Amino acid sequence: MEKRFPIQFGPSVPWAFIEPHNSNCEHNHSQSLERIAERGGLSPAEAWAVVNGIDVREIRLHYAEYTKGWFELAERVNREWSVNTAKLNTLEAENAELKRDNSALRLVAEKAAHELKELDNELTESIAAVSDLMDEYADLKKRLEIAKAEGAAEDREACAVMCEAIGQEEERGDNPWLGSVLGAFWKHAARNIRALIPKEATDE
């Protein structure tokens, strides 16, 4: 709840408004605003003198004028203070919402960074797997060239069986997507190898 300074038989004002004039209060009344507030506050004319830096001895000469001045001032201060307080509350609420949004965005960014790291690891594994695949394919190509030169249908069938076995092993790997790609590659290689075996050899 907002702290306010009491006025005897008049409108109170926010404490933050009158607090900067504490030295004037001590000069006029030899007491702080805190002590004056504990004793019930100032009169409207006394409050006007305090906020305007007017010596207490002037109050008797201009009591009605100072009293009227305080009522007008207090009304304006309270009205504007209320409006500004509402604006401040709105800004604080918006700021709190922005902080929540920032926290949510930070969590999203952290999750995205984690997923990106996992994808990078999978890509590294995929590159390594493709490199191994190329080595195995080069070895298989050499064996096929030898089999072709010798006309050995048995060697070609052995290569086809080997390709199918490799494909099945790849499909059982930790990376389902990469496994399906490599498995399909080796099965396709097996079909191509068998296509090179002479028909008469398969009939036997």
Only one residue has tokens 């949510």, namely 104
For residues 192 and 171, give the distance between their C-alpha atoms in angstroms, rounded to a whole number: 19
To the question of pTM greater than 0.85 for the whole model, the response is no
pLDDT (tens digit per residue) in 28-58: 999 999 999 999 999 999 999 999 999 999 9
**Residue bearing the bigger pLDDT, 188 or 72:** 72
* Domain annotation covers residue 100: no
Residue 102: Cβ-neighbour burial (10 angstroms; 0-12, 13-18, 19+): exposed
Query: Of all helices (H) and strands (E), which one includes residue 33?
Result: helix 33-38
Q: Which pLDDT tens digit goes with each residue over 163-190?
A: 777 777 777 777 777 777 777 887 777 7
Assess whether 10 and 76 both reside in one domain: yes
Structure-token pair, residue 1: 């709840």
Give residue 136's domain range. Answer: 120-203
**Residue 80 resides in a domain:** yes
In a domain, 97, yes or no: no
Question: Are 67 and 127 contained in the same domain?
Answer: no
Q: Provide the β-strand partners of residue 13.
A: 5
105 located within any domain: no
